Amino acid sequence: MTFSSRRAPGEDAEVIVVGAGPAGATVATYLARAGLDVLLLEKTTFPREKVCGDGLTPRGVKQLIDLGIDTRQEAGWVHSTGLRILAGDIKLELPWPDLTSYPPYGVSRTRHDFDQLIAQTAQKAGARLLERTTVTEAITDERTGRVVGVKAKVGPEKTPVSYRAPLVLACDGVNAKLARSVGIERHEKRPMGVAVRRYYRSPRHDDPLIEGHLELWDRSDPANPKLLPGYGWAFPLGDGTVNVGLGMLSTSTAFRNTDYRALLRTWLDSTPEEWGYREENAVGKIGGAGLPMGFNRTPHYRDGLLLLGDAGGMVSPFNGEGISAAMESAQLAAEFVVQALARPAGPSRERALHGYPLALKDMMGGYYRLGNVFAKAIGNPKVMRAATRYGLRIEKLLPLIYKGLSGCYDAKGGDGVDRLIAVASRLTPSPR
Residues in CB range of 48: below 8 A, 6 or more apart: 111, 112, 115, 116
Domain boundary among 292, 311, 343: 292
Do 179 and 327 belong to one domain? Answer: yes
What's the pLDDT tens digit per position in 271-299? 999 999 999 999 999 999 999 988 999 99
Do 216 and 329 belong to one domain? Answer: no
Ramachandran bin of 233, using left for φ above 0, alpha for ψ from -120 to 50, beta for the remaining angles = beta
Residues 131, 155 contacting (CB under 8 angstroms): no
What's the pLDDT tens digit per position in 233-263? 999 999 999 999 998 888 777 778 888 898 8
CATH number at residue 202: 3.30.70
In a domain, 94, yes or no: no
Identify residue 409 by its one-letter amino acid code: Y
Bridge partners of 82?
A: 95, 209
Give the whole-angstrom CA distance, residue 28 versus residue 128: 9
In a domain, 420, yes or no: no
Do 124 and 52 belong to one domain? Answer: yes
In a domain, 144, yes or no: yes
Domain boundary among 346, 373, 400: 373
CA end-to-end span of the chain, whole Å? 47
> How many domains in the chain?
2
Identify residue 228 by its one-letter amino acid code: L
Do 42 and 134 belong to one domain? Answer: yes
Do 42 and 169 belong to one domain? Answer: yes
pLDDT given at position 75:
94
> Among candidates 41, 36, 33, which has minimal Cα distance to 17?
41
**Cα-based angle 158, 160, 166 (whole degrees, multiple of 5):** 130
What's the pLDDT tens digit per position in 183-236? 999 998 888 889 999 999 999 999 999 999 888 777 777 788 777 767 899 999
Do 284 and 198 belong to one domain? Answer: yes
pLDDT, mean over the chain: 89
- Res. 61: pLDDT tops 80: yes
Residues in CB range of 330: below 8 A, 6 or more apart: 22, 23, 24, 26, 27, 30, 171, 308, 309
Do 285 and 301 belong to one domain? Answer: no
Backbone dihedral angles phi then psi of residue 71, each to the nearest 5 degrees = -100, 15
| pTM of the predicted structure, to 2 decimals | 0.92
Do 114 and 148 belong to one domain? Answer: yes
Do 317 and 307 belong to one domain? Answer: yes
Distance, CA of 302 to chain centre: 22
Give the domain range for residue 227: 192-292
Do 165 and 249 belong to one domain? Answer: no
pLDDT given at position 250:
82
Residues 169, 15 contacting (CB under 8 angstroms): yes
Do 181 and 225 belong to one domain? Answer: no
